[in-house]
Structure 1
Amino acid sequence: MTWLRALGALAVLALVALAFWSTYQHGRSTMDAEWRATSAEQAEAFQRERNQASVAVLDWQEDEQEKRRALEDRLQVNDETHYKELLDAKKLQDRLRDRLATADLRLSVLLAGPTTATSGSGGVREASGSSGMVHGGARAELDPAHAQRIVAITSDGDEGLIALRACQAYVRDLRYKYDSVPP
Protein backbone atom coordinates (compact mmCIF):
# COMPACT_ATOMS: atom_id res chain seq x y z
CA MET A 1 0.00 0.00 0.00
CA THR A 2 2.81 2.34 0.52
CA TRP A 3 3.74 1.98 -3.04
CA LEU A 4 0.19 3.05 -3.96
CA ARG A 5 0.50 6.09 -1.79
CA ALA A 6 3.86 6.87 -3.27
CA LEU A 7 2.38 6.43 -6.73
CA GLY A 8 -0.58 8.71 -5.82
CA ALA A 9 1.78 11.30 -4.35
CA LEU A 10 3.88 11.08 -7.49
CA ALA A 11 0.75 11.51 -9.63
CA VAL A 12 -0.33 14.56 -7.60
CA LEU A 13 3.16 15.96 -7.85
CA ALA A 14 3.15 15.36 -11.63
CA LEU A 15 -0.25 17.09 -11.93
CA VAL A 16 0.96 20.09 -9.92
CA ALA A 17 4.13 20.27 -12.03
CA LEU A 18 2.07 19.99 -15.24
CA ALA A 19 -0.30 22.74 -14.04
CA PHE A 20 2.62 24.96 -13.08
CA TRP A 21 4.35 24.31 -16.41
CA SER A 22 1.21 25.04 -18.48
CA THR A 23 0.51 28.22 -16.49
CA TYR A 24 4.11 29.31 -16.98
CA GLN A 25 3.94 28.61 -20.74
CA HIS A 26 0.62 30.43 -21.07
CA GLY A 27 1.95 33.45 -19.15
CA ARG A 28 5.15 33.44 -21.14
CA SER A 29 3.32 33.29 -24.47
CA THR A 30 1.00 36.09 -23.33
CA MET A 31 3.97 38.19 -22.24
CA ASP A 32 5.78 37.43 -25.49
CA ALA A 33 2.72 38.50 -27.48
CA GLU A 34 2.44 41.71 -25.46
CA TRP A 35 6.16 42.36 -25.84
CA ARG A 36 5.96 41.77 -29.58
CA ALA A 37 2.97 44.12 -29.89
CA THR A 38 4.72 46.81 -27.83
CA SER A 39 7.90 46.32 -29.80
CA ALA A 40 6.00 46.59 -33.10
CA GLU A 41 4.28 49.78 -31.91
CA GLN A 42 7.61 51.26 -30.88
CA ALA A 43 9.16 50.28 -34.19
CA GLU A 44 6.27 51.91 -36.09
CA ALA A 45 6.54 55.07 -33.97
CA PHE A 46 10.29 55.17 -34.53
CA GLN A 47 9.79 54.70 -38.28
CA ARG A 48 7.18 57.50 -38.35
CA GLU A 49 9.59 59.80 -36.51
CA ARG A 50 12.38 58.92 -38.94
CA ASN A 51 10.09 59.58 -41.91
CA GLN A 52 8.99 62.92 -40.44
CA ALA A 53 12.61 63.87 -39.76
CA SER A 54 13.59 62.87 -43.29
CA VAL A 55 10.77 64.94 -44.77
CA ALA A 56 11.75 67.90 -42.57
CA VAL A 57 15.39 67.63 -43.65
CA LEU A 58 14.41 67.37 -47.31
CA ASP A 59 12.12 70.41 -46.98
CA TRP A 60 14.87 72.37 -45.23
CA GLN A 61 17.39 71.34 -47.87
CA GLU A 62 15.02 72.39 -50.65
CA ASP A 63 14.42 75.77 -48.97
CA GLU A 64 18.17 76.30 -48.60
CA GLN A 65 18.74 75.40 -52.25
CA GLU A 66 16.04 77.87 -53.31
CA LYS A 67 17.63 80.57 -51.16
CA ARG A 68 21.05 79.76 -52.64
CA ARG A 69 19.66 79.89 -56.19
CA ALA A 70 17.96 83.22 -55.47
CA LEU A 71 21.21 84.58 -54.03
CA GLU A 72 23.18 83.35 -57.03
CA ASP A 73 20.64 84.99 -59.35
CA ARG A 74 20.88 88.30 -57.46
CA LEU A 75 24.67 88.12 -57.47
CA GLN A 76 24.64 87.38 -61.20
CA VAL A 77 22.45 90.43 -61.81
CA ASN A 78 24.77 92.51 -59.62
CA ASP A 79 27.81 91.25 -61.55
CA GLU A 80 26.17 92.06 -64.86
CA THR A 81 25.19 95.53 -63.63
CA HIS A 82 28.71 96.09 -62.29
CA TYR A 83 30.25 94.97 -65.57
CA LYS A 84 27.89 97.21 -67.57
CA GLU A 85 28.67 100.21 -65.35
CA LEU A 86 32.40 99.57 -65.74
CA LEU A 87 32.06 99.20 -69.49
CA ASP A 88 30.00 102.39 -69.79
CA ALA A 89 32.47 104.34 -67.63
CA LYS A 90 35.38 102.99 -69.69
CA LYS A 91 33.67 103.99 -72.95
CA LEU A 92 32.99 107.47 -71.59
CA GLN A 93 36.60 107.84 -70.42
CA ASP A 94 37.89 106.58 -73.79
CA ARG A 95 35.73 109.11 -75.65
CA LEU A 96 36.96 111.86 -73.34
CA ARG A 97 40.60 110.82 -73.91
CA ASP A 98 40.04 110.76 -77.68
CA ARG A 99 38.49 114.21 -77.64
CA LEU A 100 41.38 115.52 -75.55
CA ALA A 101 43.92 113.90 -77.88
CA THR A 102 42.35 115.40 -81.01
CA ALA A 103 42.13 118.88 -79.45
CA ASP A 104 38.36 118.66 -79.86
CA LEU A 105 38.10 119.30 -76.14
CA ARG A 106 40.34 121.22 -73.79
CA LEU A 107 40.26 121.07 -70.03
CA SER A 108 40.55 124.28 -68.13
CA VAL A 109 40.73 125.07 -64.46
CA LEU A 110 39.36 127.95 -62.48
CA LEU A 111 42.21 129.94 -61.01
CA ALA A 112 42.16 130.11 -57.23
CA GLY A 113 42.95 133.76 -56.64
CA PRO A 114 42.40 136.88 -58.65
CA THR A 115 44.94 137.36 -61.35
CA THR A 116 47.38 140.15 -60.82
CA ALA A 117 47.24 143.09 -63.10
CA THR A 118 50.02 143.46 -65.61
CA SER A 119 52.57 146.12 -65.00
CA GLY A 120 51.68 149.44 -66.46
CA SER A 121 47.94 148.84 -66.26
CA GLY A 122 47.55 150.86 -63.13
CA GLY A 123 46.46 147.82 -61.08
CA VAL A 124 43.36 147.23 -63.18
CA ARG A 125 42.72 143.70 -64.46
CA GLU A 126 42.15 142.99 -68.09
CA ALA A 127 38.53 142.72 -69.02
CA SER A 128 37.45 139.28 -70.09
CA GLY A 129 36.49 139.03 -73.69
CA SER A 130 32.85 138.62 -74.58
CA SER A 131 33.59 135.95 -77.15
CA GLY A 132 34.38 133.20 -74.59
CA MET A 133 31.83 130.80 -73.09
CA VAL A 134 33.50 130.74 -69.68
CA HIS A 135 31.54 132.44 -66.97
CA GLY A 136 32.91 133.38 -63.61
CA GLY A 137 36.53 133.85 -62.60
CA ALA A 138 39.63 133.55 -64.69
CA ARG A 139 40.46 130.15 -66.15
CA ALA A 140 43.63 128.53 -67.42
CA GLU A 141 43.78 125.81 -70.07
CA LEU A 142 45.59 122.60 -69.07
CA ASP A 143 48.35 121.01 -71.06
CA PRO A 144 46.94 117.97 -72.97
CA ALA A 145 49.34 115.58 -71.19
CA HIS A 146 48.18 116.82 -67.79
CA ALA A 147 44.57 116.62 -68.92
CA GLN A 148 45.16 112.98 -69.96
CA ARG A 149 46.59 112.21 -66.51
CA ILE A 150 43.63 113.85 -64.79
CA VAL A 151 41.23 111.84 -66.94
CA ALA A 152 43.15 108.64 -66.07
CA ILE A 153 42.95 109.46 -62.36
CA THR A 154 39.22 110.16 -62.53
CA SER A 155 38.78 106.97 -64.56
CA ASP A 156 40.49 104.97 -61.81
CA GLY A 157 38.32 106.73 -59.23
CA ASP A 158 35.16 105.97 -61.19
CA GLU A 159 36.15 102.30 -61.46
CA GLY A 160 36.85 102.24 -57.73
CA LEU A 161 33.45 103.71 -56.92
CA ILE A 162 31.72 101.24 -59.22
CA ALA A 163 33.62 98.35 -57.59
CA LEU A 164 32.70 99.70 -54.14
CA ARG A 165 29.00 99.80 -55.08
CA ALA A 166 29.26 96.23 -56.39
CA CYS A 167 30.90 95.07 -53.14
CA GLN A 168 28.24 96.82 -51.09
CA ALA A 169 25.49 95.16 -53.12
CA TYR A 170 27.22 91.79 -52.66
CA VAL A 171 27.42 92.27 -48.89
CA ARG A 172 23.77 93.39 -48.78
CA ASP A 173 22.73 90.23 -50.61
CA LEU A 174 24.79 88.01 -48.32
CA ARG A 175 23.40 89.78 -45.28
CA TYR A 176 19.89 89.24 -46.61
CA LYS A 177 20.61 85.54 -47.08
CA TYR A 178 22.08 84.95 -43.64
CA ASP A 179 20.27 87.54 -41.51
CA SER A 180 16.99 87.66 -43.44
CA VAL A 181 17.26 91.45 -43.52
CA PRO A 182 15.68 92.81 -46.72
CA PRO A 183 18.20 94.60 -49.02
Structure 2
Amino acid sequence: MPAFGLSVWRLIGLMLLAAGAAALAWQFQDWRYGRQLAEQERLHAEALNQLTSAAATAQQAEQDKRLALEQRLTASEQTHYRALNDAQRDQDRLRDRLATADLRLSVLIDAGDAAQGCGVPATAGAGGVDHATVRARLDPAHARRIVAITGEGDRGLIALQACQAYIRALAPAHFE
Protein backbone atom coordinates (compact mmCIF):
# COMPACT_ATOMS: atom_id res chain seq x y z
CA MET A 1 0.00 0.00 0.00
CA PRO A 2 2.67 2.47 0.55
CA ALA A 3 3.39 2.49 -3.22
CA PHE A 4 -0.22 3.14 -3.97
CA GLY A 5 -0.39 5.90 -1.37
CA LEU A 6 2.66 7.57 -2.81
CA SER A 7 1.19 7.75 -6.29
CA VAL A 8 -2.07 9.17 -4.95
CA TRP A 9 -0.10 11.87 -3.22
CA ARG A 10 1.84 12.40 -6.38
CA LEU A 11 -1.35 12.59 -8.33
CA ILE A 12 -2.79 15.05 -5.81
CA GLY A 13 0.44 17.04 -5.91
CA LEU A 14 0.38 17.10 -9.70
CA MET A 15 -3.23 18.20 -9.63
CA LEU A 16 -2.44 20.91 -7.14
CA LEU A 17 0.53 21.94 -9.23
CA ALA A 18 -1.64 21.97 -12.35
CA ALA A 19 -4.35 23.94 -10.53
CA GLY A 20 -1.73 26.43 -9.29
CA ALA A 21 -0.28 26.74 -12.78
CA ALA A 22 -3.78 27.28 -14.20
CA ALA A 23 -4.53 29.87 -11.53
CA LEU A 24 -1.22 31.56 -12.24
CA ALA A 25 -1.91 31.51 -15.98
CA TRP A 26 -5.40 32.90 -15.34
CA GLN A 27 -3.94 35.64 -13.15
CA PHE A 28 -1.36 36.45 -15.86
CA GLN A 29 -4.11 36.66 -18.53
CA ASP A 30 -6.17 38.90 -16.26
CA TRP A 31 -3.17 41.18 -15.69
CA ARG A 32 -2.36 41.29 -19.43
CA TYR A 33 -5.96 42.12 -20.41
CA GLY A 34 -6.15 44.73 -17.68
CA ARG A 35 -3.01 46.36 -19.05
CA GLN A 36 -4.45 46.29 -22.61
CA LEU A 37 -7.72 47.82 -21.40
CA ALA A 38 -5.81 50.52 -19.54
CA GLU A 39 -3.79 51.28 -22.69
CA GLN A 40 -6.97 51.46 -24.80
CA GLU A 41 -8.58 53.72 -22.23
CA ARG A 42 -5.52 56.01 -22.28
CA LEU A 43 -5.52 56.14 -26.10
CA HIS A 44 -9.27 56.84 -26.11
CA ALA A 45 -8.81 59.68 -23.59
CA GLU A 46 -6.01 61.16 -25.72
CA ALA A 47 -8.20 60.99 -28.84
CA LEU A 48 -11.05 62.71 -26.98
CA ASN A 49 -8.67 65.42 -25.76
CA GLN A 50 -7.42 66.00 -29.31
CA LEU A 51 -10.98 66.20 -30.64
CA THR A 52 -11.97 68.60 -27.88
CA SER A 53 -8.92 70.75 -28.58
CA ALA A 54 -9.64 70.77 -32.32
CA ALA A 55 -13.29 71.67 -31.69
CA ALA A 56 -12.28 74.51 -29.36
CA THR A 57 -9.79 75.81 -31.93
CA ALA A 58 -12.43 75.67 -34.68
CA GLN A 59 -14.97 77.42 -32.46
CA GLN A 60 -12.46 80.17 -31.63
CA ALA A 61 -11.70 80.62 -35.34
CA GLU A 62 -15.42 80.94 -36.10
CA GLN A 63 -15.85 83.46 -33.28
CA ASP A 64 -12.91 85.46 -34.63
CA LYS A 65 -14.44 85.42 -38.14
CA ARG A 66 -17.79 86.54 -36.75
CA LEU A 67 -16.18 89.35 -34.76
CA ALA A 68 -14.26 90.52 -37.83
CA LEU A 69 -17.47 90.42 -39.90
CA GLU A 70 -19.36 92.39 -37.25
CA GLN A 71 -16.60 95.00 -37.18
CA ARG A 72 -16.63 95.29 -41.00
CA LEU A 73 -20.42 95.61 -41.01
CA THR A 74 -20.32 98.25 -38.27
CA ALA A 75 -17.72 100.26 -40.19
CA SER A 76 -19.75 99.92 -43.40
CA GLU A 77 -22.93 100.95 -41.60
CA GLN A 78 -21.20 104.02 -40.16
CA THR A 79 -19.85 104.96 -43.59
CA HIS A 80 -23.26 104.71 -45.22
CA TYR A 81 -24.98 106.48 -42.34
CA ARG A 82 -22.47 109.33 -42.71
CA ALA A 83 -23.09 109.44 -46.49
CA LEU A 84 -26.83 109.54 -45.87
CA ASN A 85 -26.45 112.38 -43.38
CA ASP A 86 -24.20 114.29 -45.79
CA ALA A 87 -26.72 113.86 -48.62
CA GLN A 88 -29.55 114.99 -46.34
CA ARG A 89 -27.55 118.04 -45.23
CA ASP A 90 -26.79 118.93 -48.88
CA GLN A 91 -30.47 118.57 -49.78
CA ASP A 92 -31.46 120.78 -46.85
CA ARG A 93 -28.95 123.45 -47.93
CA LEU A 94 -30.20 123.31 -51.51
CA ARG A 95 -33.82 123.58 -50.34
CA ASP A 96 -32.90 126.58 -48.15
CA ARG A 97 -31.11 128.30 -51.03
CA LEU A 98 -34.16 127.75 -53.24
CA ALA A 99 -36.49 129.09 -50.56
CA THR A 100 -34.45 132.27 -50.06
CA ALA A 101 -34.17 132.88 -53.83
CA ASP A 102 -30.40 132.60 -53.45
CA LEU A 103 -30.57 129.91 -56.12
CA ARG A 104 -32.92 129.45 -59.06
CA LEU A 105 -33.16 126.32 -61.13
CA SER A 106 -33.41 126.62 -64.88
CA VAL A 107 -33.56 124.26 -67.82
CA LEU A 108 -32.10 124.44 -71.29
CA ILE A 109 -34.64 125.02 -74.04
CA ASP A 110 -34.23 123.41 -77.43
CA ALA A 111 -33.15 126.15 -79.87
CA GLY A 112 -35.68 124.81 -82.39
CA ASP A 113 -38.52 125.38 -79.91
CA ALA A 114 -37.35 128.96 -79.32
CA ALA A 115 -37.28 129.60 -83.05
CA GLN A 116 -40.84 128.29 -83.40
CA GLY A 117 -42.17 130.94 -81.10
CA CYS A 118 -41.73 129.54 -77.60
CA GLY A 119 -41.13 133.08 -76.44
CA VAL A 120 -38.62 132.27 -73.70
CA PRO A 121 -35.92 134.91 -73.35
CA ALA A 122 -32.28 133.89 -73.44
CA THR A 123 -30.60 134.53 -70.10
CA ALA A 124 -26.99 134.35 -71.14
CA GLY A 125 -24.93 137.14 -69.71
CA ALA A 126 -21.36 138.26 -69.98
CA GLY A 127 -20.32 135.76 -67.30
CA GLY A 128 -22.35 132.83 -68.69
CA VAL A 129 -20.75 129.71 -70.02
CA ASP A 130 -23.66 128.55 -72.16
CA HIS A 131 -22.83 130.94 -75.01
CA ALA A 132 -26.29 132.43 -75.43
CA THR A 133 -28.28 129.21 -75.01
CA VAL A 134 -31.93 129.65 -74.29
CA ARG A 135 -32.89 128.82 -70.68
CA ALA A 136 -36.14 128.88 -68.77
CA ARG A 137 -36.32 129.36 -65.02
CA LEU A 138 -38.42 126.86 -63.11
CA ASP A 139 -41.18 127.84 -60.76
CA PRO A 140 -39.88 127.59 -57.14
CA ALA A 141 -42.53 124.98 -56.25
CA HIS A 142 -41.43 122.79 -59.17
CA ALA A 143 -37.80 123.31 -58.22
CA ARG A 144 -38.56 122.13 -54.67
CA ARG A 145 -40.30 119.02 -56.02
CA ILE A 146 -37.32 118.26 -58.24
CA VAL A 147 -34.95 118.68 -55.31
CA ALA A 148 -37.15 116.39 -53.19
CA ILE A 149 -37.19 113.75 -55.94
CA THR A 150 -33.41 113.88 -56.33
CA GLY A 151 -33.06 113.69 -52.55
CA GLU A 152 -35.16 110.52 -52.47
CA GLY A 153 -33.06 109.15 -55.32
CA ASP A 154 -29.86 109.96 -53.45
CA ARG A 155 -31.15 108.24 -50.32
CA GLY A 156 -32.22 105.25 -52.40
CA LEU A 157 -28.79 104.96 -54.00
CA ILE A 158 -27.08 105.22 -50.63
CA ALA A 159 -29.37 102.53 -49.22
CA LEU A 160 -28.64 100.32 -52.25
CA GLN A 161 -24.90 100.79 -51.74
CA ALA A 162 -25.32 99.87 -48.07
CA CYS A 163 -27.22 96.70 -49.01
CA GLN A 164 -24.60 95.74 -51.59
CA ALA A 165 -21.79 96.29 -49.09
CA TYR A 166 -23.67 94.17 -46.55
CA ILE A 167 -24.10 91.31 -49.04
CA ARG A 168 -20.45 91.55 -50.11
CA ALA A 169 -19.39 91.37 -46.47
CA LEU A 170 -21.60 88.34 -45.80
CA ALA A 171 -20.90 86.44 -49.04
CA PRO A 172 -17.32 85.35 -48.23
CA ALA A 173 -18.41 84.10 -44.81
CA HIS A 174 -21.14 81.92 -46.33
CA PHE A 175 -19.21 80.57 -49.28
CA GLU A 176 -15.89 79.60 -47.65
Q: Shorter-chain-normalised TM-score: which range?
A: 0.7 to 0.9
Q: Which runs of 4+ in 1 moved over 6 A?
A: 125-128
**What amino acid sits opposite 2:139 in the alignment?**
D
Aligned in 2, Cα 1:23/1:154: closer, same or farther, shift over 3 Å? same
The structure where helix makes up a greater share of residues is 2
Offset at residue 71 of structure 1 (A)? 0.4
Alignment correspondent of 1:15: 13
User: How far off is 1:62 after superposition?
Assistant: 0.9
TM-score, normalisation: structure 1: 0.84
- SS in structure 1 of the partner of residue 128 of structure 2: coil
Paired residue for 2:167?
Answer: 171
CA distance in 1, matches of 2:74, 2:122: 58
The answer to whether the 8 A contact 1:90-1:155 is kept is: yes
Matches within 5 A, 1:104-115: 104-112=102-110, 114=112, 115=114
Residue of structure 1 aligned with 2:79, choices 81, 98, 103 = 81
Structure 1, unmatched stretches of 5+, are: 120-124
Say if 1:106 and 1:142, in contact at 8 Å, map to a contact too.
Answer: yes
Identity score, percent: 43
Query: What pairs with 1:64-143 in structure 2 (closer than 5 Å)?
Result: 64-112=62-110, 114=112, 115-118=114-117, 130-131=125-126, 133=128, 135=130, 137-143=133-139
Counterpart position of 1:122: none
Q: Which amino acid aligns with 2:103?
A: L
Match of 2:48 in 1: 50
Q: Are residue 149 (structure 1) and residue 145 (structure 2) matched?
A: yes
SS at match of 1:104: coil
**Length-normalised TM-score, structure 2:** 0.87
Query: In 2 relative to 1, CA 93–129 (structure 1 residues): closer, same or farther, beyond 3 Å?
Result: closer
| 8 Å contact from structure 2 (residues 109, 134) kept in 1 | yes
**Cα RMSD (Å) of the superposition?**
2.4
What is the CA-CA distance between 1:45 and the residue it aligns to? 0.6
Provide the rounded CA distance (Å) in 1 between the counterparts of 2:10 and 2:111.
136
CA offsets, 1:120-176, max 9 Å, x none? Answer: xxxxx9776544726153211111111111111111110111111111111111112
Amino acid at match of 2:128: M
Gap change, CA 1:118 and 1:169, over 3 Å in 2: closer
Number of aligned residues: 173
Shift of 1:9: 5.4
In structure 2, what is the Cα distance between the partners aligned to 1:160 and 1:128? 34
Is the 8 Å Cα contact of residues 104 and 138 (structure 2) preserved in structure 1? yes
